[in-house]
Amino acid sequence: MFNLVVIFCLFGVIFCAPPQQRIVGGSPIDITQVPYQIAVGNATSIWCGGSIISEKFIVTAAHCFNDHDITTEGFLVFVGMTKLNEINPSMAKGIVSVHVHPEYDRSTQSKDIAIMELNDDLNFNTKVKKIDLPRFEEETPVNAYGYASGWGKLSENGPTSVNLQNSSEG
């Protein structure tokens, strides 16, 4: 289980903690430090984060779709941005499909993972890259550091950050 938690943190999915234990705060960073970080939303709001795993696919949490139909119409993935208030059309990519883990349990958030397929391939550059993931055979070292990034809450019950933030635990 420890390996799974660390991998989710490495994915950059800011909501890797259980529902009762959210990650808040962090330090401002530039997207070039976590070029795999994306935001999920639509034309008017952003509600989740995720990580680029290839030119065509994004990993995110299944719970990102709890309050939304799992249709792709209107869903967008935003790439290469540091500040939520500086989005431009070139940063938005449409979604062809969403694949939620078939055993995802909404009540416990067990197997809380989903894969999104983009309608166009991403062009990698200093602000847009896939995350380096461990190979299937690799074990996560004991006492490995987790790393989370995103545009989450700045404090418990506080406002959401406009600036990309990171948090590491060790």
Q: What's the whole-number mean pLDDT along residues 154-160? A: 84
Where residue 90 sits, what CATH number does that domain have?
A: 2.40.10.10
What is the structure's pLDDT at 68?
Answer: 52
What is the structure's pLDDT at 125?
Answer: 97
Tell which wins on pLDDT, 93 or 13: 93
Which strand ranges, in their side-by-side order, compose the sheet holding 165-169? Answer: 27-28, 165-169, 146-150
Helices (H), the chain: 2-10
Give the mean pLDDT of the chain: 82
> What pTM did the predictor assign?
0.82
Number of domains forming the structure of the chain: 1
Contact 48, 15 (CB under 8 A): yes
Q: Is the pLDDT of residue 16 over 50?
A: no
The values of phi and psi at residue 71, to 5°, are -110, 165
Q: How confident is the model at residue 3 (pLDDT cuts 50, 70, 90)?
A: very low
DSSP H or E segment with residue 77: strand 76-79
- Convert the pLDDT of each residue in 95-116 to its tens digit: 999 999 999 998 888 999 999 9
What is the residue type of 100?
V
Of 98, 48, 51, nearest to 72 (Cα)? 98
What pairing do the DSSP bridges indicate for beta strands 76-79 and 57-60? unpaired
What pairing do the DSSP bridges indicate for beta strands 27-28 and 92-100? unpaired
What is the structure's pLDDT at 18?
Answer: 47
Q: How confident is the model at residue 8 (pLDDT cuts 50, 70, 90)?
A: very low
- Convert the pLDDT of each residue in 58-72 to its tens digit: 999 998 876 555 566
How is residue 61 written in tokens? 């949490």
How far is Cα 128 from Cα 125, in angstroms, rounded to an integer?
A: 5
Q: Is the pLDDT of residue 39 over 90?
A: yes
